């Protein structure tokens, strides 16, 4: 049974800047520590990246996966589902942006992971929690550096 990890962080920038950084996938390797390569395979009717392939470092090796993005509730939510992955059967998640005021946003990251190779629950939960917290820390640093 997959577990969902969720965490939040307060970012000193408006929702619009947080959202723009999250959907600018081609620049992820510049600020996401474990990502080696990102390729946008397709876009939706509005020109937003829809199917995106990633190559990342995970568990001491390189892993590849493709995600399909859902913008139904954007710019408040950007969600994704796994299309295919070499180590994962589920890699679904979302970023939720909640405006605190004109200069601050609470960003909540949720991630559900199921691996093809079974791991003890505590190992999987620890890794998943590390991914969520790293994603939020990396996003906060990137957004705040751009927001000035």
Distance between CA atoms of residues 114 and 126, nearest Å: 13
124 or 74, higher pLDDT: 74
Comparing 10-14, 31-35, 126-130, 143-147, the range with the smallest average pLDDT is 126-130
What pLDDT band is residue 59 in, cutting at 50, 70 and 90?
low
The 10s digit of each residue's pLDDT in 17-44 is 999 999 999 999 999 988 999 999 999 9
* Alpha helices (H) along 24-120: 28-31
pLDDT of residue 2: 57
CATH for 3-147? 3.30.530.20
Average pLDDT of the chain, as a whole number: 91
Rounded to an integer, the average pLDDT of 47-53 is 97
pLDDT of residue 147: 87
The 10s digit of each residue's pLDDT in 65-103 is 999 999 999 999 999 999 999 988 999 999 999 999 999
70 or 4, higher pLDDT: 70
Please state the domain extents for the chain: 3-147
Peptide bond connecting 45 to the previous residue in cis, omega within 30 degrees of 0: no
Virtual torsion, Cα 97, 99, 103, 108, nearest 10 deg: -30
């Amino acid at each position: 049974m997959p577990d969902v990890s969720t965490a939040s962080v307060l970012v000193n920038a408006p929702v619009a800047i947080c959202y723009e950084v999250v959907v600018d996938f081609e620049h992820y390797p510049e600020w996401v520590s474990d990502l080696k390569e990102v390729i946008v395979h397709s876009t939706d009717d509005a020109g937003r990246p829809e199917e995106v392939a990633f190559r990342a470092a995970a568990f001491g090796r390189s892993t590849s996966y493709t995600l399909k993005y859902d913008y139904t509730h954007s710019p408040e939510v950007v969600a994704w589902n796994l299309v295919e992955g070499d180590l994962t059967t589920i890699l679904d998640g979302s970023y939720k942006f909640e405006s605190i005021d004109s200069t601050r946003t609470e960003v909540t990251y949720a991630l559900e992971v199921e691996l093809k190779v079974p791991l003890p629950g505590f190992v999987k939960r620890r890794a998943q929690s590390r991914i969520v917290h790293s994603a939020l820390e990396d996003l906060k640093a990137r957004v705040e550096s751009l927001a000035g």
